[in-house]
Amino acid sequence: MLPAIKRFLALLFVFVVFFFLVTAIRTWRSGGDFSAFLPNFLQKEKTHRVEAFTPSRTSALDISDVEMLSRLNEEYARLTKAVVPSVVSIDTVGERTEKLLDFRGGYRIRNYPTQGQGSGVIVSEEGHIITNHHVIAGQNQIRITLHGGKTYNASLVGEDPLLDIAIIKVDSKEKFVPLKLGDSSLVEVGQLVFAVGNPFGLGETVTQGIISAKERSLADNQRDLFQTDAAINPGNSGGPLVNLTGEIIGINAAIFSVDKENPSFQGVGFSIPSNDVREALKQIIERGRPIRGFLGVQMRDLDPTVRAELGYQDTAGSAVLGITPNSPAEAAGLIPNDIVQSYDGKSIRHTHQLITHVQRTKIGEKVKIGIWREGKKMELTTTITEATSPPIYREIPPKTPSKNNIEILLGVGVEVRNLTTEKSAGNVRGVVVTRILAEGSASGILKANDLIVALNNSPITNPNEFYLHLAASAAVQSTSLFILRDGQRLRVSLPAPSGK
């Protein structure tokens, strides 16, 4: 037994020596202290040595060297101090209803409480506040918090969902400090602006930037927006965009974000111009609802296909698709395929611009409309009214395809029909493919039951419109189709004719 114990102790000794040797080498390479290997009672007590430390007692520059920046800094602070007390944080409480399938195959309803946050700005001494419609839409309770921390309940006065504006009022007899609505027509690209709001529920926050662009469009109901690089984040919605004198020139409404699930500032924010907001505010205060001009036309932009179809050489204007019966457009003598070139003396470049001018026209005002019709220019006059119900448009009268167009359509080889009532109930419009000719250029690209929604980015509503667009496009170029197939959205292209 004794030799075995000796061998064990020898191996243990070698292991311990080797372990400490390797550890010591690593400590030395890393610049460590070897005293850490000694037991505590053998280590010397460390004493703190007072370091020499001489801080700078002077600024890098004298204030007189940056006098302009100093004044600018003071003015920024003064502007912020003047504006912030009129900006409020908005907290909302609502309820979301969800239909659930139970174990018996039936349905039951479950209600979930919801909470929201946003911003607003006081625009009257009585406590009227402008915010976004999407901040308060469907909410049961609205509570606002002022700059000093005081909270109040607020009630809805009126809303304009199309413009995304709502007017709420503080439930209090106190007098409040309002901000002035400025003239947004004076805003220039490049001018300094400040966005104030309640991003992410953090409370009042001020960011600075410039007007990056004007007349930006996010959708048909959001046109002519200001684009700014002042930081706007979720929670800023409804807060003001102010100029250097603290006037409201816009109401912050949206941001561009790559991540739609978790949107955040990307340097591109959008604000509703104050002149549009002022008009909506006036109408809501006076009548309880927004009022907009109504012409009664269904329009489409002039893409190459539309221009080729109508024989129109210019690129500016908007083409008439349909006319509402008994509307100002019908009274003026507008007909499908007219091209509107001017409205009330203002040139029309695209459809959004025309719709904006019409909606801003006062009810009962007479306007002149300059049009192009089959190669001739004309001027029509009508009186703008207010829309009281959803418009119904008279379809474009069917045209008999020319012999040349028939040959082109046979070469493509696609037949379509109208949507059934059941399929069109979900606000989806288009035509359904019924047959594909084996020898046609659409063979292998389109399939039966494909739903064609748009052709060359122009919406398609009926077979006649589809064939006219297709014949004009397929004769000279490749044709882009936006389709729905088995629940998926696809974009496909039909080849250009040979030699093109």
Q: Which residues are catalytic?
A: 134, 164, 237
Query: Which residues does 443 contact at the CB level (< 8 Å), separation at least 6?
Result: 413, 436, 437
State which amino acid sits at residue 498.
Answer: S
CB 478 within 8 Å of CB 495: yes
- Which residue, 255, 244, 238, is CA-closest to 168? 238
- A 10 A CB-CB count for 247 gives 18
State the Cα–Cα distance between residues 336 and 463, nearest whole angstrom. 16
For helices 463-474 and 403-412, angle between their N-to-C axes, nearest 10 degrees? 90
Q: Which residue has the tokens 């807060």?
A: 239
State the Cα–Cα distance between residues 249 and 242, nearest whole angstrom. 5
The pair of three-digit structure tokens given for residue 247, joined into one six-digit string: 């006037």
- Output the CA–CA distances (angstroms, integers) from residue 138 to 57, 114, 157, 217, 392, in the order listed: 59, 10, 14, 25, 28
CB 431 within 8 Å of CB 460: yes
Backbone angles phi, psi at 467, to 5 degrees: -65, -40
3-state secondary structure of 92: strand
CA 438 to chain centre: 43
Spell out where 146-202 has E strands: 151-160, 165-170, 192-197
For Cα atoms 130, 181, 230, give the angle at the middle one, nearest 5 degrees. 80
CA 354 to chain centre: 21
State the Cα–Cα distance between residues 460 and 26, nearest whole angstrom. 75
CB 100 within 8 Å of CB 107: yes
Helices (H) and strands (E) in the chain — how many of each?
Answer: 9, 26
The distance in angstroms from the start CA to the end CA of the chain is 100
Query: Which residues does 125 contact at the CB level (< 8 Å), separation at least 6?
Result: 175, 176, 177, 178
Q: Which long-range contacts (CB under 8 A, 24 or more apart) does 136-141 make?
A: 136/90, 136/92, 136/166, 136/168, 137/161, 137/166, 138/94, 139/92, 139/93, 139/94, 139/114, 140/93, 140/94, 140/95, 141/92, 141/93, 141/94
- Which residue, 346, 345, 343, 351, is CA-closest to 302? 351
